[in-house]
Amino acid sequence: MAAPRQEQISPQISPETAVLDYDVIIIGAGLSGMYQLHRLRELGLTVRVFETGTDVGGTWYWNRYPGARFDSESYSYGYSFSKELLQEWEWSEHFAGQPETLRYCRYVADKFDLRRDIAFECRVASAIYQDEARSWAITLASGARATCRFLITAIGPLSTPTLPRIEGRDSFRGQSFHTARWPKQKVDFAGKRVAVIGTGATGIQTIQTIAGEVGHLTVFQRTANWAAPLHNGKIDAETQAAIKAGYPEMFRRCQETFACFVHTPDPRGAFEVSDEEREAFYEKLYGERGFGIWQGNFRDILIDRTANATISDFVARKIRERVKDPAVAEMLIPKNHGFGTRRLPLETFYYEVYNRDNVGLVDLNETPIERITQEGIRTSDKDYPFDIIIYATGFDAITGSFDRIDFRGSSGALLKDKWQHGPETYLGLMVDGFPNMMMLMGPHTALGNIPRSIEYSVDWVTGLLRFAQAKGLTLLDATPEGTAGWTDHVKALGVGLLSNEVNSWMTGINTNVEGKQRRIVARYSGSAPAYRAKCDEVAAKGYDELRLA
Ligand code: NAP
C-alpha cells in the first residue's frame, strides 16, 4: 500500500487554499470504519482509512483466541445496509465463531472493494488539528504524515488490551499471550500446563474451549462473574431460509428494542407475578438462546436490588446444580454484584469445566498473585509451574483507544486533558474544541448490539458530511453548551442503574492502568430509540446545535 504523501501545512494557510491529501481520514478498519468508508464513497469524497492490523475486521481480526465467538445472534449482528449481502451470506451457527466472522468481514471488504482505500499496518500516533487550515494532520507510528478536512475515529470501545501489572511478567520462560493479541498460528495445548488469568466473557470462552485440550488448566479468578448458557446451534436449511425471509422484520424489531438486540425487557416487574410464575419465567430464559435472560428479563432487575436478587438467586442455584464440588461452586458465584450488572458473559458448559480432573480454580482474593516467575505463577500460597500463561485480562475500555493517540484539537488542546475527569462529548459523536472530528462508537453513544449502533452512527455522520458538502462548510464543531448538556444527560441517565455502582470496564475501571481506578460514566445507558430520536432531531434542524462555518 502506498505511503501517504508527506504534507506540511503552513500555519498561514486558509481553509480554502490548503492542499489536503484527503477529504476524510478514518482511523480503523473494523466494522465501523469499513461501513463508513463505503458510505462516504457515495459523496464522492477522497477517503483514506488507516488500520494497524494487516486486514479488515477490527475486533474480529484481533480477538482470535480459542473459542472467540458472537454472543448476539449472528443474523442480528451482520450489516443490514445491503439486501444483496444479506441474501448472499449464510451464517452457519446461531452464534458464529471468530474465524467465520472474520471471513464475513473479508467478504464485505471484497464485495464493496474497500481495501483499495485502506492502508494496513499503519498505526496512527497523533492527530493534530490545524486551526488556520481547518484540517487535521495525522502522523503514523512510521513517521509518515497525511492531512484531511474531516477525521473520523473508528477505533472501537474494546480495542486496547491491558496486561496485569504483576512483577516478573517478562521473566516467564514459557509462552504467554493476551487473548486480544493471539498468534495467527495454532497454539498447541496438548499435554501443556496452562494458566488463564481473568474470567470475563473472554476468559470464560477461552477456558471452556481449551479445558479438554490441555494437560492441566489452572484458572486464576479475582472476581467471579455471572454467566448464562449461550445455547448455540447449527443453522439448518429451513431456518436459514426463514432468517433470510425475515430480515426486514428482524431489523425493524432491533430498531425498536432498548439496546438493538432481538431481545428487549419484559414490561412486567419481577414482583408483579407470583413466585411460581417468576421461577417459570427464569427457567424459560435460562433455556433460551442468547441474551434473553439479560436483555429480555423483567424490566426492573437492573435497577431494583430486590428484583435483582431474585434472578441472582436463581442463577446461583443453577451454578450449584452444575458444579459438583460445593466449595468450587461457591467460588464461582459472585458475591459483590448482582446478575447482569456487569456485561453478561454467555457460556457453553463453562461450569462443567470445573468438574474435570484436569482443571483447578484459584481464588485470587484468598491467595493473590505475588509475582510471575521464570517457571510460572507464585501466589501467596504456592508456586504453580506453567508452560503457557494466557492473559484474559481485558481492555482499557472506551477511552483507552483514544488515550493512546495524541489527539490535539483547536489551539493545541489535548483530548486527554479534556477527558481527565471522564469523557465529555456531544451526542457521543463530537467534542467541542475538536472541530471536524467525528467519533464512531466513542464514549456516550448507545452501544448495545454494536453493528446496529454502528450503522446508525455512520449514517448520521454521512448525513452531516453531506450537509457540509452541500453548504460548502469547512468547520463543524460541537459547542461547549452542547457538550456539557449531552454529558450531563448521559450522567443523569446512569443514575439508579445497578451497573453504574459496580466496578467493571463499563464504569471505566481497569486496575492495570494508571489513573483508571475511579468510576466514570462513559456509556450512554438510555434506550437506542431515544438516542436516535435526539440525533435525528439535531439533523432535521440543520445541525443548528453545532458551530458551523
Ligand atoms: P473483562 O470483562 O474486563 O474481564 C477481564 C478479566 O480479567 C476479569 O475477570 C478481571 O478481574 C481479570 N483481571 C484483569 N486484571 C487482572 C489482574 N491484574 N489480576 C487478576 N485478574 C485480572 O474483559 P474481557 O473478558 O476481555 O471482556 C471485555 C468485553 O469484551 C466483554 O464484556 C464483552 O463486551 C466483550 N466481549 C465480547 C465477546 C462476544 O461478543 N462474544 C467475547 C468476549 C468479550 P476483575 O473482574 O476482578 O477486574
User: What's the total number of domains in the chain?
Assistant: 2
User: Where are the alpha helices (H) located in 146-231, listed in sequence order?
Assistant: 201-210
Residue nearest (by alpha carbon) to ligand 1 atom 31: 201
Q: Are residues 311 and 343 in the same domain?
A: yes
Q: Are residues 310 and 439 in the same domain?
A: no
Question: DSSP label at 491?
Answer: H
505 C-alpha vs ligand 1 centroid, how far in Å? 8
Cα 485 to Cα 87, 171, 426, 439, 506, distances in angstroms: 42, 49, 8, 18, 21
Q: Are residues 255 and 288 in the same domain?
A: yes
Q: Are residues 34 and 139 in the same domain?
A: yes
From 295, 393, 398, 514, the mutation candidate for ligand 1 (largest count of ligand atoms within 8 A of CB) is 393
Q: Are residues 317 and 442 in the same domain?
A: no
Domain range for 442 is 22-56+114-160+397-548
pLDDT of residue 15: 78
197 C-alpha vs ligand 1 centroid, how far in Å? 10
Q: Are residues 356 and 222 in the same domain?
A: yes
pLDDT of residue 255: 96
Cα 434 to Cα 10, 26, 411, distances in angstroms: 19, 15, 10
Residue 131 lies in a domain: yes
pLDDT of residue 136: 98
* Side chain identity, residue 44: G
pLDDT of residue 1: 35
Give the torsion sign (CA, 219, 224, 229, 232): negative
Task: Identify the segments of the chain with pLDDT beneath 50.
Answer: 1-11
177 C-alpha vs ligand 1 centroid, how far in Å? 14
312 C-alpha vs ligand 1 centroid, how far in Å? 20
pLDDT of residue 472: 96
Q: Which of 372, 391, 410 is the last residue of a domain?
A: 391
Residue 504 lies in a domain: yes
Residue 320 lies in a domain: yes
Q: How far apart are CA 244 and CA 267, in angstroms?
A: 29
515 C-alpha vs ligand 1 centroid, how far in Å? 18
Question: How does 437-473 read in b/e, with b if 16+ C-beta sit within 10 Å?
Answer: bbbbbbbbbbbbbbbbbbbbbbbbbbbbbebbeeeeb
Q: How far apart are CA 301 and CA 299, in angstroms?
A: 6
Q: Are residues 156 and 212 in the same domain?
A: no
Residue 206 lies in a domain: yes
pTM exceeds 0.75 for this model: yes
Ligand 1 is surrounded, with C-beta below 6 A, by 69-71, 158, 164, 197-203, 205, 222-223, 343, 364, 392-395, 505, 511-512
Which residues share a beta bridge with 69? Answer: 97
Q: Are residues 534 and 401 in the same domain?
A: yes
CATH label of the domain that carries residue 155? 3.50.50.60
Q: Are residues 231 and 326 in the same domain?
A: yes
Q: Are residues 361 and 427 in the same domain?
A: no
Q: Which of 374, 391, 408 is the last residue of a domain?
A: 391
Q: Are residues 241 and 372 in the same domain?
A: yes
